[in-house]
Structure 1
Amino acid sequence: MSHTIDLSELIERISAADTDEQRQLFNEQEIQQLDPGSIATLLEALPLHERMELWRQLPLNSHVDVLTAMRADTRDWVIHSLSEAELNLVLAKLDNLSLIEWADSLPDEIIEKAMSLLSKDDLELFDRANQYSDDQIGRYANPKVMSLPQGISAKRALVLLERHGYSYPAPIYVVNHSKKFVGGVNYQQLREAEPMAKLSTLADRSFPVVEDDASLTEAVEAIEHSQRFSLPIVDKQDQLIGEIDLHLALELMRESYESTLMANAGMSEEDDLFAPIAKSARKRAVWLGINLLTAILASVTISLFEDVIAEVVALAVLMPIVASMGGIAGSQTLTLMIRGMALNQVTAGNRWSLLRNECGIGFLNGVLWAVLIGLLAGIWFQSFLIGAIIAVGIVVNIITAALFGVLIPVALDKFKLDPALAGSVVLTTVTDVVGFFAFLGTAKLLLL
C-alpha cells in the first residue's frame, strides 16, 4: 500500500459521499493501491446496503484476499449476498490456507463446494490442517516455503532458487530425503560458499523450530524471541510442514488483543460493525440475560437487609462506593491474571505465590482506602459507626476482589472456559455480593 494514503481519511470521504460519488471514489487509483486488509477495513466501515455495491467493483483477482482479511461475520454476509455464479467464481480461486480461515464461519454446503474445487495438493493440505485445533499453530502453517534437499551442492541450490523465483531475504530450509528438517541456510551464505559444498555441511543445525502442536501464543513468543522474520514448523517426526512469519504472528497478536477486548463486553472480535440489527440484538441479549441474573443475585443480597437500610438511609448512599471499589480492585487483578495466563507465565508452581502477593496488595490497599473513606463518611454523616461500617465493607471487599481475581480465571481455565469472556461477570457478582453482605451485615450488627 502506498504510504501516502490515509485510510481513515479515505473511509470518511467514502462514508460521507452519496452512491454515485462512492462508486467514483472507489474506482480511483488510490483504491487500487490499497492492500487487501485495508480494502476489507474500508468495506467493513460501510453500511450493508453500500458495502455490496462497492464490493462488486473490486477486481476479481482480489476477491479471495479481501474476503480472507475480513472479519468472519462480514465475510459470511458478503458470501451469502453473492449470486451462485459469483460464489462459484470466488470459490474457484480459493486456496487451502484461505479455506482454513473461512471454514469455521461458513455453512457445510459451501465448504464442501469449495473443497470440490480445490486441487489435489491443496485438498491434502486442507485435510492436514484440519487435524489441528483452532489454538494450534499447525493449523495455520504456511506450506509455501523454500526447502532444498541436503544432498545438493551450493551451485545447484542457486540454480533451483532462481528457477523457482526465490525472493531475498526469504528463509531457505534444508531437509533430508524424508523431508525432515535439517537446518537453515541463507542466500548470501550460498553465494559465498564453495560451488560443490553440500547443503548438509552449510545448514545451521541450531536453527530454532516451532512444534506443530504449540499454541498460537507459544508460536508468537517463539518468533518474537528468535529475532528472525520466520520460523519453520515441524511435526512430531521433525518433518517440515510450513512456517510462521512475522505477518502471521502480528495478525495472531492483534486477534488475541481484540478477542480479549471484545470478550469483556460479551462479544466476539469477528462481530460486524454493521451487522443486521436482529442478529446483533440476539447475540447481545444473551450477555444481557447473564448480567441480569448476576444483578438479581446482588439485589437479593441487598433485600436481606431491607430493615437496616430503611432505618439508616446513609447506607443506601454509601453502597455504590463499596461495590465500585471492589469492582476496580478485582478488575486489576483479573486483567493481570488474564495477561499472565495468555503469556503462559501463570503455572501450577507459582499460583499460590501469586495469590499471596495479590492478597497482600489487597490488604494494604483495603486498609488505606478503608481508613480514608471511613473518615470521610464519618464526617459526612457525623457518625463514627457509619465510618467504621463502610471501612469494614471496603477492607473485606478489596481483599475478596484480589482473592477471587486470582482464583476465578484459574478455575475457569480448568473447566476450559475463556477467563476473558466469563471472568469479569463472575468476579463482579462475587464482589457485589460479598461487599454488600459485609457492609450491610456489619451495619445490622452495630446499628440494630
Structure 2
Amino acid sequence: MSEFQDLSFQIETIAQAEPEQQSNILNQLIEEGLEAGSIALILEAFPIDERVQLWRGLPLELHIDVLTEARAEVRRSIIDELSEIELKLTLAKLDNLSLIEWADSLPEEIINEALQLIEKDELELYDQANEYQDDELGRWAERKVVTLPFNISVEKAKGLMERYSYDAPQQIYLINKRKQFRGVVSYIDLLRAEPAERLRHLAIDNVVTLNATLTLAESIEALEHSSLSTMPVTDDEQLLIGEVDWQFALSTQREIYETRLMAGTGMDEGDDLFAPVIKSSQKRGVWLGINLMTAILASVTIGLFEDVIAQVVALAVLMPIVASMGGIAGSQTLTLMIRAMALNQITSGNRWALLKNEIGIGSINGLLWALIIGGLAGLWFQSVVLGGTIALAIIVNIITAALFGVLIPIALDKLKLDPALAGSVILTTVTDVVGFFAFLGTASLVML
C-alpha cells in the first residue's frame, strides 16, 4: 500500500470512529511513526470543529510542528479557535523558523504577541532571518547548526560537544574566529579519527556553499546537484549563516508546484479544504467575475458576425473547434514558458530565438491540422469554401497562440505578476477572440 493510500485509510479510520476515540487513534498512529507533515494532512481532511479537537489531543511537543506543516488557512482556523491561555502557551513554544512561516498568515497582533513570548535566542535568530527577503535563502536557512573551530584537535572537539550537550549531528561546520566558513566534517569521521588529528584535515573536499541571497528556486537546483544531503549557507563575506537540507528542498518544491497549480484557477496554495462557505465564495467569485469579462469579450466578437452565423448554421457548429485548437496550442507554449521561467532559463538573450522556435512549431502544426480539419469540414458540409475558411482560421489561431504563449508570460513577469495566475486567462481570451474573428470574418467575406 502506498503512502497516500495509507493516509487515506488513516483518515477513514479516524472519521469512522466515535468522537471520543478519534484522538486516541491518531495518537496511536503517531506512536507508530506518523510524522508532523502527515498529521497536518490528516487534520486538513476534517471540518474545523473536529480538526481543532484532534489538534488539542496531540502530544504537546507536536503542536507547533503540526501547525507549521499545515497550510496557512488551516493553521489560522485552529489558532482562531484557541482560548487566550491556549494561544499564549502555543506562541511561547515557537522557534524562529516556525515564526517566520507563520508571520505572513496571521494577524499582526498575534505575531507581535509571539515576539514578546518566544525565547530570547529564538527572537535573535528571527531578527537575523528578517534581514533577507521572503524569496531569499537566508530567510529560511536552519541557523541551529553545530560549529567548531577549524584548527582544534579531535579530542578537544569531542570535549566541546559533550560540554554543550550537542545532539549527534550529521555534519559539523568548521569556522574561524570571525565565524567564517572553513569546511565541513562528517560526525562519523570525527568519531573514527585519532584524538590528535586536527579538524581541518578531516574536512570534506570541494564543499560548495550557497549564498544567502540566492532565490529559493536557485537553491533547490543547487541542492539537486550536490552530493551532500545538507549544504552550508553563507553571506557575501563567507560568514556562516546556517544550512539547508533535502527536506527543505522537497517541501519548497512542493509548495512552488502547488502554488502554480492553484494559481491557475485563482486560488492560493494555503487555501483550506473546509474553509468557511462565505469566505470561499467571495474569493472564488472574484475569479469567476474575471472569467465572465473574458467570456463577454469573446461573445461580443461572435455577436459582430450574428448575421453570418444565422445564414450559415455550419459556422456555429465549427466555431468550438477553432477555439479549442488555439487554446490547446497556447496552453502548451504557456506551460513550457512558465516551467522555464521558474527554472530561470529565460533570458533577454534567448527570448527571440525561443519566439521564433515556437512560431515555427505553431506554423507546422497549424498547417498540418488546418489541412486535416479543413478537409473534414469540407467533406462534412459539402463545401470547399467552408473547408478553406476554417483551415485559414486554424492556421491563424495556432500561430497566434504560439506567439502570445511566449509574449504573455514575459510581459506579466515584467509587470511583477505571476504568469501562472493570469497567463491562462489572458491567453484563452486572445485565442478565442482571434480564432472567432479570423473564422467568422473570413466567412463573411467569402461565403455571403
TM class by shorter chain equals over 0.9
Deviations 1:279-302, CA, capped at 9 Å, x for gaps: 111110111111111111111111
Please state whether the residue corresponding to 2:80 is helix, strand or coil: helix
Aligned to 1:361: 361
Instruction: Quote the residue 1:153 is aligned against.
Output: 153
> Secondary structure in 2 aligned to 1:416?
coil
Q: What are the residue-to-residue correspondences of 1:310-349 with 2, within 5 Å?
A: 310-349=310-349
8 Å Cα contact 2:230/2:243 also seen in 1: yes
Aligned residues: 445
Aligned twin of 1:292: 292
For the Cα contact (< 8 Å) 1:182–1:205, is it kept in 2?
no
C-alpha separation in 2, matches of 1:125 and 1:76: 24
- Partner Cα separation in structure 1 for residue 206 and residue 164 of structure 2: 26
**Segment drifting more, 250-259 vs 154-163:** 154-163
Residue 422 (str. 1) matches residue 426 (str. 2): no
Contact 2:146–2:169 (Cα < 8 Å) also in 1: no
Deviation at 1:18, TM superposition (A): 4.3
The residue number in structure 2 matching 1:182 is: 182
How far the C-alpha of 1:53 sits from its partner, in A, is 1.9
CA contact (8 A) 2:103 2:111 kept: yes
Per the TM alignment, residue 353 of structure 1 is displaced from its structure 2 partner at its CA by 1.2
SS at match of 1:173: strand
Matched letter for residue 330 of structure 1: G
Say if 2:154 and 2:193, in contact at 8 Å, map to a contact too.
Answer: yes
Q: Deviations over 1:234-288 (max 9, x none)?
A: 1122111111101111100111111111111111110000101011111101111
> Which secondary structure state, in structure 2, belongs to the residue aligned with residue 81 of structure 1?
coil
Report deviation, 1:313.
1.1
The answer to whether the 8 Å contact 1:234/1:242 transfers is yes
Give the Cα separation in 1 of the matches to 2:223 and 2:339.
19
Question: How far off its partner does 1:169 sit?
Answer: 6.1
Task: Report deviation, 1:135.
Answer: 1.1
Match of 1:124 in 2: 124
Change in Cα spacing, 1:24 to 1:148, as seen in structure 2 (3 Å) is closer
Q: 1:37 maps to which residue?
A: 37
Map 1:216-365 to 2 at 5 A: 216-365=216-365
Counterpart AA for 1:116: Q
Which residue of the partner structure matches residue 393 of structure 2?
Answer: 393
Distance (Å, rounded) in 2 between the aligned partners of 1:5 and 1:62: 23
For residues 214 and 41 of structure 1, the distance between their equivalents in structure 2, rounded to whole angstroms, comes to 30
Q: How many angstroms does 1:19 deviate by?
A: 2.4
* Structure 2 residue identity aligned to 1:236: D
- Show the counterpart of 2:210: 210
User: 1:54, 1:199 → 2: CA distance?
Assistant: 48
Matched AA of 2:224: E
Greater mean alpha carbon deviation, residues 189-198 or residues 278-287: 189-198
Q: Which deviations, in whole Å up to 9, do the C-alpha atoms of 1:160-210 show, x marking residues without a partner? A: 334445555612111111111112122344345553343344434631011
Q: Which deviates more from structure 2 when the two are superposed, residues 419-428 or residues 148-157?
A: 148-157
The answer to whether the Cα contact below 8 Å between 2:186 and 2:204 also exists between their aligned partners in 1 is no
Please tell me whether the aligned partners of residues 223 and 246 of structure 2 are also in contact (alpha carbons under 8 angstroms): yes
Distance 1:444 1:96 in 2: 67
Quick one: which amino acid aligns to residue 289 of structure 2?
G
1:267 counterpart SS class:
coil
Asked if the contact 2:400–2:431 (Cα under 8 Å) also holds between the matched residues in 1, the reply is: yes
TM-score of the two chains, using structure 1 as the length reference: 0.95
Q: How many percent identity over aligned positions?
A: 62
Q: TM-score, normalised by structure 2?
A: 0.95
Say if 2:83 is the partner of 1:86: no
Q: Which residue of 2 aligns with 1:377?
A: 377
**Structure-2 separation of matches of 1:193 and 1:10:** 46
Once the two structures are TM-superposed, the CA of residue 57 in structure 1 deviates from its matched residue by 1.1
| Deviating more after overlay: 125-134 vs 316-325 | 125-134
Quick one: distance in 2 between partners of 1:261 and 1:372?
33
The 2-side partners of 1:202 and 1:12 are apart by: 51
Q: How far apart in 2 are the matches of 1:108 and 1:199?
A: 46
Cα root mean square deviation, aligned: 1.8
Question: For the Cα contact (< 8 Å) 2:88–2:117, is it kept in 1?
Answer: no
Q: For 1:436 and 1:189, locate their aligned partners in 2 and report how far apart those are by CA, in whole Å.
A: 69
Paired letter, 2:282: R
Where does residue 431 of structure 1 map in the other structure?
Answer: 431
SS at match of 1:6: helix
Aligned residue number for residue 442 of structure 2:
442
| Mapped partners of 1:47, 1:413: distance in 2 | 37
- Which amino acid in structure 1 is aligned with residue 329 of structure 2? A
**Using the alignment, how far apart are the partners of 1:18 and 1:397 within structure 2?**
58
Q: Are the counterparts in 2 of residues 397 and 431 from structure 1 also a CA contact under 8 Å?
A: yes
| Cα pair 2:63 2:90 within 8 Å, conserved | yes
Residue 60 and residue 195 in structure 1: after superposition, are their counterparts in 2 closer, same or farther (change >3 A)? closer
- What is residue 107 of structure 1 aligned with on the other side? 107
Any unmatched runs of 5+ in structure 1? none
Deviation at 1:80, TM superposition (A): 0.7
- Counterpart of 1:56? 56
Letter aligned with residue 371 of structure 2: V
1:87 partner SS: helix
Indicate conservation of the 8 Å contact 2:23/2:58, yes or no. Answer: no
Q: Where do 5+ consecutive residues of structure 2 fail to align?
A: none
CA contact (8 A) 1:5 1:30 kept: no
